[in-house]
Amino acid sequence: MDDYRSRAQAGAEPGAWDYLEGGAGAERTLAANVAAFQEVTVVPRVLVDVTTVDTAVEVCGARLAAPIGVAPVAYQRLWHPDGEAATAAGAAATGTLMIASMFASARYEEIAEAGGARWLQLYVLRDRAILLDLVARARAAGFTALVVTVDTPRLGDRRRDVRNSFAIPPHAQSQNIDPETMALTGVPITGGSALATHVGATYDPGLRWEDISWLADRTGLPVVLKGILDPSDATRAVDAGAAGIVVSNHGGRQLDGALATLDALPAVAEAVEGRIPVLVDGGVRRGVDVLVCRALGADVVLVGRPPVWGLAAGGAEGVAGVLGGLRAELELAMALTGRPCLADLTPAMVRRPSR
Ligand code: FNR
């Protein structure tokens, strides 16, 4: 994965690289996500028959070869001309889940051509008509669930983007939403972030639990809430009719100082009590990280930046390299811990520093 990342950085435009790699504020949470995995250790069992190791899983109706998925990342043509279509092809080739960002730079229909398991992520805009239109298109293109991101009432303070006066260039613009709604994303602001201006003008900061129930009722598709860290919110999500949740701090890009997702996961999973699937993202870089998340209660584990490193380095093949590598590492880690089934992965096998 480090090799993909180095090759990606070498080819990327510096502002686009900072947009990918950066976090909010002093980037404490960004660092904490990765560091949390380095602090845990795993206790293997021996003399278990691991001739066959089974990583297959089903989540909200999506059948996956491994409990791994691509987290939504906007504007992927910033890093490769094939953008999200290539990412979806890489995910399909490895039997993993593709979650397309609402702000994809490829059309949803193009993303669907890869034919793999696919969900669409949405932010709730003030203009609900746009939202319902996107939902209808996504459904027609075979996206089987919606992921509503709930940690972004305003954009986090992404200092790198402010310093770079970052704006989305024309070649990477959203291909799914009318140019008028997206216009502010393309206007560079000296000493400011075009994305923050866009979020301020278009996202609904008044979003509440009632809106989630409304969306679930109106769309008929499973609604997964992304950006849950508090166990009480997890319980409320179940009550509001969410079909799943993603334990996420947006890859350290929203509240700097928010806890690492690995530290949030156990209590959230406990509160959910298996009633709905729990997904997690943030700082996952190795197969053993996926194993640890599964052991601590996650059903499916998402990666955001790593598939983009693969994309930038080698298009669809690079994405498949990253995702297939993670899957192979997970499978090996299951064999070496004497846990041939995902159900064998339990909290008891993980040692974490007390916090
Ligand atoms: C994101 N993320 C994100 N999340 C979301 O719900 N909608 C989006 O459009 C985006 N866009 C986006 C762009 C970029 C460049 C990054 C890096 C991230 C957050 C993403 O889905 C995920 O939560 C994190 O990336 C997970 O952390 P890791 O795996 O990158 O450490």
Pick out the residues of the known binding site for FMN.
72-74, 101, 121, 149, 158, 226, 248, 281-285, 304-305
Q: Which domains are assigned to the chain?
A: 2-348 (3.20.20.70)
At 149, the pLDDT band (50, 70, 90 cuts) reads very high
* Structure confidence at residue 258 (pLDDT): 98
The DSSP symbol for 205 reads: T
Best of 148, 173, 225, 253 to mutate for ligand 1, by most ligand atoms within 8 A of CB? 253
Q: Which atom of ligand 1 is nearest to the CA of 21?
A: 17
Tokens representing 79 are 């890093």
Residue whose entry in the numeric block shows the structure tokens 């993980």: 350
CB-count exposure of residue 61 (10 Å: 0-12, 13-18, 19+): exposed
Question: Ligand 1 centre and the CA of 71: distance in Å?
Answer: 6
Helix (H) or strand (E) holding 73: none
Q: Which atom of ligand 1 is nearest to the CA of 250?
A: 23
Helix (H) or strand (E) holding 176: none
* Structure confidence at residue 322 (pLDDT): 98
The per-residue pLDDT of the chain, averaged, comes to 97
Q: Using DSSP bridges, classify how beta strands 41-42 and 62-64 pair: parallel, antiparallel or unpaired.
A: unpaired
pLDDT tens figures, 254-307? 999 999 999 999 999 999 999 999 999 999 999 999 999 999 999 999 999 999
Q: State the ipTM, two decimals.
A: 0.99
* Residue 301: strand, helix, or coil: strand
* Structure confidence at residue 276 (pLDDT): 98
* Structure confidence at residue 354 (pLDDT): 76
Return the number of other C-beta atoms located less than 10 Å from residue 89's C-beta. 22
Tallying the residues shown for the chain, one arrives at 355
Q: Which atom of ligand 1 is nearest to the CA of 246?
A: 23
Pocket of ligand 1 (CB under 6 A): 19-20, 33, 71-74, 101, 103, 121, 149, 226, 248, 250-251, 253, 281-284, 303-305
Question: Ligand 1 centre and the CA of 177: distance in Å?
Answer: 19
pLDDT tens figures, 303-319? 999 999 999 999 999 99
At 220, the pLDDT band (50, 70, 90 cuts) reads confident
- As a whole-number percent, the residues of the chain with pLDDT over 70 amount to 100
- The better pLDDT of the pair 54, 354 is held by 54
CB-count exposure of residue 49 (10 Å: 0-12, 13-18, 19+): exposed
Question: Ligand 1 centre and the CA of 56: distance in Å?
Answer: 25
Tokens representing 186 are 């393309």
Task: Tell me if the pTM is above 0.90.
Answer: yes
pLDDT tens figures, 38-69? 999 999 999 999 999 999 999 999 999 999 99
DSSP E strands in 46-96: the ranges are: 57-59, 62-64, 68-70
At 353, the pLDDT band (50, 70, 90 cuts) reads confident
At 355, the pLDDT band (50, 70, 90 cuts) reads low
* Residue 141: strand, helix, or coil: coil
Question: Ligand 1 centre and the CA of 100: distance in Å?
Answer: 11
What is the arithmetic mean of pLDDT over 226-230?
98
